Amino acid sequence: MAEIVKRNARVILLDGDDLVLIKRTKPGCAPYWVTVGGGVEDSDQSVEDTLHREVFEELGATITAPQLVFLITDPVGLGIGVQHIFVARLKSMDLAARTGSEFGKPERGSYEVVRIPFTATSVRSVVLMPPVLGEYMAANIAALASVANDPVYAP
């Protein structure tokens, strides 16, 4: 069995009927879209703590109780990387409060917060990375919205 050498936390972030994404534009590359999230750091107590930290760093935002809905594994060196995909609702956002170190590095390109309708057609209309996540979301729109809306999961 391969060792897990990297973990990430990402969120399918819903705001009303919209999906909140980050449009990445890097010099010399076609634009693509990603869900909010990033890597687990040694100081994080859990993958969910990572998610809350990343949401604040990238959006200056807070979210409702996130629910783990999907895992993605990829080879990383001699081991594997695991992306923990959550679904949650946006609680508050202040882009002026973003603290991510990537925003001060022009060589990394731009990070534009965008909203698209949370429909299969809209999800399939953008180049979402990783592609398997876009396929999963498009195939499970109703289920994901249901989990995000379920009062059982609300704080």
User: Given pLDDT bands bounded at 50, 70 and 90, which one contains residue 151?
Assistant: low
Could you tell me which residue, 131 or 106, shows the higher pLDDT? Answer: 131
For β-strands 4-15 and 79-93, DSSP reports them as parallel
pLDDT reported for residue 152: 60
In order of start, what are the domains of the chain with their CATH numbers? 4-153 (3.90.79.10)
**Which range (63-67, 105-109, 125-129) has the least confidence?**
105-109
φ, ψ at 122 (rounded to 5°): -65, -40
User: Given pLDDT bands bounded at 50, 70 and 90, which one contains residue 28?
Assistant: confident
Dihedral of CA atoms 84, 148, 59, 37 in degrees, nearest 10, equals 10
Q: Answer whether 0.75 is exceeded by the pTM.
A: yes
Locate all alpha helices (DSSP H) within 33-109, ordered by sequence: 47-59
The closest of 117, 120, 47 to 82, measured between CA atoms, is 47
CB 144 within 8 Å of CB 69: yes
Answer whether residue 100 shows pLDDT above 80: no
